[in-house]
């Protein structure tokens, strides 16, 4: 699920950036530092949408670095148990398959794939129904439900299922 929230961060800025466009430098550094990171609490920071306030800088003794407390708005993505996501399959093996929904990796184990889909080893490993009408392979898009998440301090990993109504392959660029 996506959220638009306000976060705060203390930015350390090198003295060489002190000048006319200090603020621009600060913001671009913030974006470089924060976007794409993952915190267990808020999830993945997808994008910074605005800066609320930049507090008074504090010069560090010895280094000359200046610390600015910055409040910024950002879009975060946090997967939840029970959430339905659309993901792209990245890897298929006999244990199941891995898929990615943006920054999140999701594993769907074999017993959470519908029973009528069989693993086919080979050049392009895939799961296929007995009549061959549905095929899960690399690069195809699936809709899945998250049934478990593991949230570490800096990473989130999910386990999903496609063994439910309206879940499964939604688009297969390879077949098209």
Partner 1 sequence: MEKSGPVQKAVVLQPFVKLVRLVARAFYDDYTTKSDNQQKSARSDNRGIAAVVLDALARRQWVREEDLAKDLQLHAKQLRKIIRLFEEEKLIMRDHRKETAKGAKMYSAAVAATTDGRAEDKVKLHTHSYCCLDYAQICDVVRFRLHRMKKRLKDELEDKNTVQEYGCPNCQRKYNALDALRLISMVDDSFHCENCNGELVVECNKLTSEEVVDGDDNARRRRRENLKNMLQKLEVQMKPLMDQLNRVKDLPIPEFGSFLAWEARAAMAARENGDLNPNDPLRSQGGYGSTPMPFLGETKVEVNLGDGNEDVKSKGGDSSLKVLPPWMIKEGMNLTEEQRGEMRQEAKVDGGAGAAAKLSDDKKSAIGNGDEKDLKDEYLKAYYAELMKQQELAARRNQQESAGEPTSGIQSGTVYSGRQVSMKAKREEDEDEDEEEVEWEEKAPVTANGNYKVDLNVEAEASGGEEEEEEDDVDWEEG
CA nearest to 172, candidates 148, 120, 136: 136
Quote the Cα angle for 54-56-60, to 5°: 120
Distance CA 13, CA 1 (A): 33
Answer for which of 37, 49, 63, 109 binds partner 1 (CB under 8 A) is 109
Distance CA 105, CA 77 (A): 13
CB of 112 to partner 1, least distance (A): 7
- Specify the residue for token string 């080979």: 122
CB of 81 to partner 1, least distance (A): 9
Answer for which of 35, 100, 125, 172 binds partner 1 (CB under 8 A) is 125
Distance CA 84, CA 147 (A): 10
CB of 116 to partner 1, least distance (A): 6
Answer for which of 13, 47, 163, 172 binds partner 1 (CB under 8 A) is 163
Residues 23-42 contacting partner 1, CB under 8 A: none
- Specify the residue for token string 């074999």: 110
> Residue 57: in which H helix or E strand, if any?
none
Residues 143-162 contacting partner 1, CB under 8 A: 145, 147-150, 157, 159, 161
- Provide the binding-site residues for partner 1, judged by CB under 8 A: 91, 93-96, 98, 105, 107, 109-112, 115-118, 125, 130, 145, 147-150, 157, 159, 161, 163
């Amino acid at each position: 699920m996506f959220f638009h929230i306000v976060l705060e961060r203390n930015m350390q800025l090198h003295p060489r950036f002190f000048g006319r466009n200090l603020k621009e430098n600060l913001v671009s550094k913030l974006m470089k530092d924060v976007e794409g990171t993952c915190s267990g609490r808020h999830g993945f920071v997808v994008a910074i949408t605005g800066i609320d306030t930049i507090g008074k800088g504090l010069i560090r003794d010895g280094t000359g670095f200046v610390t600015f407390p910055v409040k910024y708005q950002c879009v975060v993505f946090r997967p939840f148990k029970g959430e339905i996501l659309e993901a792209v399959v990245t890897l298929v093996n006999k244990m199941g398959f891995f898929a990615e929904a943006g920054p999140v990796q999701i594993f769907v184990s074999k017993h959470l794939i519908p029973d009528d889909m069989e693993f086919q080893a080979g050049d392009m490993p895939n799961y296929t129904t007995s009549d061959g009408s549905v095929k899960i392979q690399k690069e195809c898009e699936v809709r899945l439900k998250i049934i478990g998440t593991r949230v570490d301090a800096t990473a989130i990993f999910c386990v999903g299922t496609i063994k439910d109504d309206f879940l499964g392959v939604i688009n297969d660029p390879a077949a098209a």
